Amino acid sequence: MNGKRWLALLIAAGLFLISIGVQFATSLASTNFENVFGQQDELFNETVVESGNSGNKIAVLPLEGVIQDTGSGSLLNNSGYNHQNFLRMLEKAGEDKSIDGIILRVNTPGGGVVESAEIHDKIVEIQENTDKPVYVSMGNTAASGGYYVSAPADKIIANAATLTGSIGVIMESINYAELAEEYGIDFNTIKSGKYKDIMSGSRPMTEDEEAILQTMVDELYDEFVQVIVDGRGIEEATVRELGDGRVYTGKQALDNQLIDGLGTLDDTIAMMEEDNELGEAQVVQYETGFHFDQLLGMTAKSFFGSDMKLAGLRELIRESDAPRAMYLYSR
């Protein structure tokens, strides 16, 4: 490589670094650092949404997005639902003696079985260890895992047009065996037992394998049914009749005793105040804090654009390759 080519390469590299610097500086300039780093130890902020004058305090915890523990450390994971952070929010609201009531603002199609169970158990723990009421205000969607985590609440309020229900379990995978055969693609699999590659996308599923997975789904469905029986006080037979996977509007859910009333978040706050003699309480909302890895992720996405989206798609494909049971409303 001659001197001119080396010079051109160095100039290109310099422009690349300058571009990244500009993107990074722009993100820094548009960020409110008082909110970003003000409460880093808590990983979330507390914002007053209603001042109140009674000395009582209600905490609103937003639960939005697919309920899944995506972990941290990836530049792609810089927004959306953060499972560990939401569990910390619940724990903080339960332990904070200044909080007199908790409202979950649920807007989710559901998600992972384990993650949904962890939220459910944390709510039950708060109810058992404190005298704080826990209400749920449903948003556009509070289905499957969204209903699972709502079931133990002392009161559930939804909009008439909310989509809820979807009581059930789903397990899916992509089977590309016929496509691979059409293009002459062979798969070499070495396994220790005949079920080690169960639900593999490279071959059809056997009847035995389907029976094994159906047993797992049925067991998890039984757990879902019991959560509703315990939380809502509805007969098991009724829950199973309602729990065929369909979604209900808020009005239909009320008619079937899956919720307690229709209304907005403001209505839910007013109900909690009246039901529990909290007067005109101060209302605070817990909000996910903004962190340095999120800033890096936003900068990378802004710079690399479609390449980052493609990397995210590849990550989703890798995750979907493994069998996973979900409490998820799938459209």
Element at 50 (helix H, strand E):
strand 44-50
Phi-psi region of 30 (alpha: psi -120 to 50; beta: other; left: phi over 0): alpha
Residue 221 in contact with residue 166, Cβ under 8 Å?
Answer: no
DSSP conformation letters of 10-38: HHHHHHHHHHHHHHHHHHHHT--HHHHHT
C-alpha triplet 274, 280, 282: angle, nearest 5°:
120
Is 116 among the catalytic positions?
no
C-alpha triplet 132, 135, 138: angle, nearest 5°:
160
Length of the chain equals 331
Contacts of 276 (CB under 8 A, 6+ apart): 100, 101, 133
Catalytic residue, chosen from 116, 137, 144, 150, is 144
Residue 149 in contact with residue 327, Cβ under 8 Å?
Answer: no
Q: What is the 3-state secondary structure (H, E, C) of 100-146?
A: CEEEEEEEECEEEHHHHHHHHHHHHHHHHHCCCCEEEEEEEEEECHH
Catalytic residue, chosen from 74, 191, 194, 196, is 196
Is 4 among the catalytic positions?
no
Active site residues: 144, 196
